[in-house]
């Protein structure tokens, strides 16, 4: 199934729908439970290495825009933000976010923006907590942009596609382990 999705996204990269689809996935993931945009970004960069920076920029812009929407939901519609967190299995995320923010401040947004932990946890909780909006946007640009541009840079290597094609299932398994490990760590730390 993962291989079929990978092949589909490689083909999608050659269509006019590639950029809007990437931006849409990045926006949705920043506000609601959804697949991370990396699942589209990586195959798109592998399919068209010459467009790596464009793809990373679109992914960053979509994610930051979605983050602002998530922040607005948390800020203006806190009850809806809490419902989204609860429906996604992260009912205690706000309490954990407050505790982490009290201890580490801005570093919470910077660290969580780089990790495979759903970004919607940060966006909704930041709005509900009434975190400084300009600082939130700046941190989102740094972390999401840093993540997506680093990914694009690594995948732009001429041999990246051959390595991924050869070791696809091992890399996919490692990715699943990383994501599951991040969720387990989040649960252990009281985030959800």
Q: What is the pLDDT of residues 13-51, one digit of tens each?
A: 888 899 999 999 999 999 988 888 988 898 899 889 999
Closest C-alpha among 95, 97, 75 to residue 31: 75
Cα separation, 174 vs 78, whole angstroms: 36
Output the average pLDDT for the chain. 84
Question: pLDDT at residue 182 above 70?
Answer: no
Tokens read off for 83: 């419902």
Q: Report which of residues 145 and 113 the model is more confident about.
A: 145
Say if CB 64 and CB 138 are below 8 A apart. no
Note the pLDDT of residue 189: 62
pLDDT value at position 72? 97
Mean pLDDT across 41-64 = 94
This prediction has a pTM of 0.80
Quick one: pLDDT band at residue 88, thresholds 50, 70, 90?
confident
Question: Helices 52-76 and 119-128 meet at what angle, rounded to 10?
Answer: 40
150-154: Cβ within 8 A, 24+ apart: 151/38, 151/41, 151/42, 151/45, 151/56, 152/41, 152/45, 152/52, 152/53, 152/55, 152/56, 153/52
The predicted structure's pLDDT at residue 64: 97
- Amino acid 190: pLDDT: 56
The owner of tokens 């205690």 is 92
Q: What is the mean pLDDT of residues 64-83?
A: 95
Give the pLDDT score at 4.
83
pLDDT at 5: 77
pLDDT tens-place string over residues 124-154: 989 988 989 999 999 999 999 999 999 999 9
Question: Are the beta carbons of 64 and 144 closer than 8 angstroms?
Answer: yes
User: Measured between alpha carbons, how far is residue 127 from residues 40, 80, 107, 122 in Å?
Assistant: 27, 11, 16, 9
- Quick check: 74 pLDDT over 60? yes
């Amino acid at each position: 199934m993962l291989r079929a999705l990978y092949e589909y996204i490689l083909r999608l990269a050659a269509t006019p729908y590639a950029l809007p689809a990437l931006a849409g996935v990045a926006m949705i993931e920043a506000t609601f439970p959804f697949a991370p945009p990396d699942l589209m970004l990586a195959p798109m960069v592998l399919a068209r290495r010459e467009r790596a920076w464009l793809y990373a920029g679109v992914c960053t812009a979509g994610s930051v825009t979605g983050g602002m929407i998530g922040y607005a939901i948390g800020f203006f519609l806190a009850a809806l933000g809490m419902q989204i967190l609860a429906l996604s299995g992260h009912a205690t995320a706000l309490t954990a976010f407050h505790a982490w923010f009290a201890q580490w401040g801005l570093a919470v947004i910077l660290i969580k923006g780089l990790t495979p932990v759903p970004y919607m946890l940060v966006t909704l909780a930041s709005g509900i907590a009434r975190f400084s909006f300009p600082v939130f946007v700046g941190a989102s640009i740094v972390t999401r942009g840093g993540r997506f541009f680093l990914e694009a840079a690594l995948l732009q290597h001429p041999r990246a596609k051959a390595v991924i094609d050869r070791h696809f299932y091992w890399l996919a398994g490692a990715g699943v382990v990383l994501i599951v490990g991040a969720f387990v760590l989040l649960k252990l730390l009281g985030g959800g």
